């Protein structure tokens, strides 16, 4: 068992691992470096601080540096940025921004949990002050400061993924005029195009100017330039996805995998003995395609951190892989997906049928019944569920968990039809919408 564990990155992946390792090994010396001011925070909550639904950035902190010190005896050092990992001498080079000095810190084992960063396309003007990416609480603080300082009447969100859409809605709540620019044919690229129409309708109803098939070509003073002409902007938010922060690992000689994410085995071990990785900087395996993937989600980061921590603490745990299950709510519309979409299923070599239904979240005669659309993909030969997507009103999104469970259990659509799911008029239609979609897929088979 290690004597000193150094953790790089103080959020979900890093601190979950550190706290877990502590539970198993009371003797382990644990030091954690975080370049920002906060630890164990919910980046997922940032859009709701921007909108005003959540009062302050500090409300998003689940465990502060002091709480980690007191409860888990972890030596947390904020405003400490790890600049290099010297694997030959088992030493970190750390920049202590608070004191303006650089220190060398020895370690026996190291966990890399440096997260990801928003993709910044190489376009003219990208370095302008008004262009913001959002990943950490420090990014959120900078965004809020800028939004408060500038009049922030015109906000342009580049990219129609879930982070972009959540922030678009947040700025509508702040009474800004919001434009979402998406280069592809539809928003929410992790869903199939036929599921995106109700999302775009809901956004437009809220007053968001949704421009699909529109490529951004550059930024100038208070202008976003697109192939279709300029758009006024006091503030630009990048929502083009994230790239793993893996340069530190690569420079140290640790192998990278898919999309430049740190390659790990099932126990979160990297290619170098005593070097572990977890969270958004790390790759994982897709449970349906069997391929390595980089899926940056808080759910995955926490689970990988837990697995790494158990193993570092001397226990045994494995991370089985992911389905990319994700759920969000944008403009009162709940959006969810799991497994493979049509494009991903084809790329993985599957032939499939589709079962798609439009239904309601409660009995159709019930006064507040909300629309729900469920789409399932099932393998043509076996009927096995490969993926699912759901779009609808309140109560629609979390139904994706039934689909995720079915995929994980290797169920076919007949078994989903046969599931004994609950029903009462205020909470479901008699045939649960997921089971109804499975019936349509079964008929197509």
Sign of the CA dihedral running 179, 169, 160, 140: positive
Q: Between the CA of residue 444 and those of 282, 354, 408, what are the distances in Å?
A: 38, 7, 22
Candidate residues 2, 13, 352, 441; the one interacting with ligand FAD per rule CB under 6 A = 13
Q: How far apart are CA 186 and CA 377, in angstroms?
A: 20
Report residue 385: phi and psi, to 5°: -75, 130
Q: Between the CA of residue 1 and those of 25, 121, 306, 312, 317, what are the distances in Å?
A: 8, 43, 17, 7, 15
Q: Is 44 a catalytic residue?
A: yes
Q: Which is nearer to ligand FAD, 47 or 321 (CB)?
A: 47
- The least CB distance from residue 100 to ligand FAD, in Å, is 16
297 binds ligand FAD (CB under 6 A): yes
Region binding ligand FAD by CB under 6 A among candidate stretches 3-11, 177-185, 186-194, 369-377: 3-11
Q: How far apart are CA 50 and CA 363, in angstroms?
A: 36
205, exposed or middle or buried, with CB in 10 Å at 0-12, 13-18, 19+?
A: exposed
Q: Which is nearer to ligand FAD, 76 or 434 (CB)?
A: 76
- The number of angstroms, rounded, from the C-alpha of 56 to the middle of its chain's C-alpha atoms is 21
- The least CB distance from residue 376 to ligand FAD, in Å, is 22
Is residue 296 within 8 A of residue 325, CB to CB? The reply is no
9 binds ligand FAD (CB under 6 A): yes
298 binds ligand FAD (CB under 6 A): yes
Region binding ligand FAD by CB under 6 A among candidate stretches 28-36, 67-75, 187-195, 389-397: 28-36
296 binds ligand FAD (CB under 6 A): yes
Candidate residues 115, 244, 321, 339; the one interacting with ligand FAD per rule CB under 6 A = 115
- The least CB distance from residue 92 to ligand FAD, in Å, is 9
Is residue 40 within 8 A of residue 143, CB to CB? The reply is no
Candidate residues 159, 160, 279, 339; the one interacting with ligand FAD per rule CB under 6 A = 279
Is residue 215 within 8 A of residue 183, CB to CB? The reply is yes
Site for ligand FAD in 229-258 (CB under 6 A): 245, 248
- The least CB distance from residue 49 to ligand FAD, in Å, is 10
379 binds ligand FAD (CB under 6 A): no
SS3 (DSSP) at 331:
coil
Candidate residues 31, 43, 76, 170; the one interacting with ligand FAD per rule CB under 6 A = 43
33 binds ligand FAD (CB under 6 A): yes
Q: How far apart are CA 404 and CA 300, in angstroms?
A: 14
Candidate residues 81, 169, 182, 379; the one interacting with ligand FAD per rule CB under 6 A = 81
Q: Which is nearer to ligand FAD, 136 or 361 (CB)?
A: 136
Q: Which is nearer to ligand FAD, 134 or 152 (CB)?
A: 134
Q: How far apart are CA 81 and CA 53, in angstroms?
A: 32
20 binds ligand FAD (CB under 6 A): no
Site for ligand FAD in 317-336 (CB under 6 A): 328
- The least CB distance from residue 380 to ligand FAD, in Å, is 31
Q: How far apart are CA 51 and CA 73, in angstroms?
A: 36
Residues 385/387/393/394 CA torsion (nearest 10 deg) = 80
- The least CB distance from residue 33 to ligand FAD, in Å, is 5
Count of other CB atoms within 10 angstroms of residue 53: 11
So which residues are the catalytic ones? 44
Interface with ligand FAD by CB under 6 A: which residues?
Answer: 8-14, 33-36, 43-44, 46-47, 81-82, 113-116, 134-136, 163, 245, 248, 279-280, 296-299, 301, 328
């Amino acid at each position: 068992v290690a004597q000193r564990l150094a953790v790089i990155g103080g959020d979900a992946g890093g601190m979950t691992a550190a706290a877990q390792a502590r539970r198993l090994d009371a003797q382990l010396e644990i030091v954690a470096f975080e370049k920002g001011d906060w630890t164990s925070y919910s980046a997922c909550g940032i859009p709701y601080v921007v909108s005003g639904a959540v009062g302050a950035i500090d409300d998003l902190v689940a465990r502060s540096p002091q709480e980690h010190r007191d409860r888990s005896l972890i030596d947390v050092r904020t405003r400490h940025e790890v600049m290099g990992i010297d694997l030959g001498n088992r030493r970190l080079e750390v920049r202590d921004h608070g004191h303006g000095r650089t220190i060398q810190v020895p370690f026996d084992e190291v966990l890399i949990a440096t997260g990801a960063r928003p993709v910044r396309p190489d376009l003219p003007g990208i370095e302008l002050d008004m262009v913001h990416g959002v990943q950490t609480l420090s990014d959120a603080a900078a965004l809020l400061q800028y939004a408060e300082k500038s009049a922030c009447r015109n906000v342009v969100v580049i990219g129609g993924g879930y982070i972009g859409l959540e922030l678009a809605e947040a700025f509508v709540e702040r009474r800004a005029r919001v434009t979402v620019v998406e280069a592809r044919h539809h928003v929410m690229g992790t869903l199939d195009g036929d599921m995106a129409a109700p999302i775009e309708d809901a956004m437009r109803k809220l007053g968001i100017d949704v421009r699909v098939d529109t490529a951004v070509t550059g930024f100038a003073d208070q202008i976003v330039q697109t192939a279709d002409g300029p758009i006024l902007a006091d503030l630009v938010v990048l929502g083009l996805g994230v790239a793993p922060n893996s340069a530190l690992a690569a420079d140290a000689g640790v192998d990278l995998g898919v999309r430049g994410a740190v390659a790990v085995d099932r126990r979160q071990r990297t290619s170098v003995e005593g070097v572990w990785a977890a969270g958004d900087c790390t790759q994982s395996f897709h449970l349906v395609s069997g391929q390595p993937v980089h899926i940056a989600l808080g759910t995955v980061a926490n689970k990988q951190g837990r697995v790494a921590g158990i193993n570092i603490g001397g226990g045994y745990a494995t991370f089985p892989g992911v389905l990319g299950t994700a759920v969000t709510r944008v403009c009162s519309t709940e959006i969810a997906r799991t497994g493979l979409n049509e494009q991903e299923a084809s790329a993985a070599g599957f032939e499939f049928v589709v079962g798609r239904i439009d239904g309601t979240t409660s009995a159709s005669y019930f006064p507040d019944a909300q629309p729900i659309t469920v789409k399932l993909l099932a393998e043509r030969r076996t009927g096995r569920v490969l993926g699912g997507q759901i779009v609808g009103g309140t109560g629609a999104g979390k139904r994706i968990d039934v689909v995720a469970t079915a995929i994980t259990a290797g169920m076919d659509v007949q078994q989903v039809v046969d599931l004994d799911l609950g029903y009462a008029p205020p909470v479901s239609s008699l045939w649960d919408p997921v089971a109804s979609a499975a019936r349509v897929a079964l008929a197509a088979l």
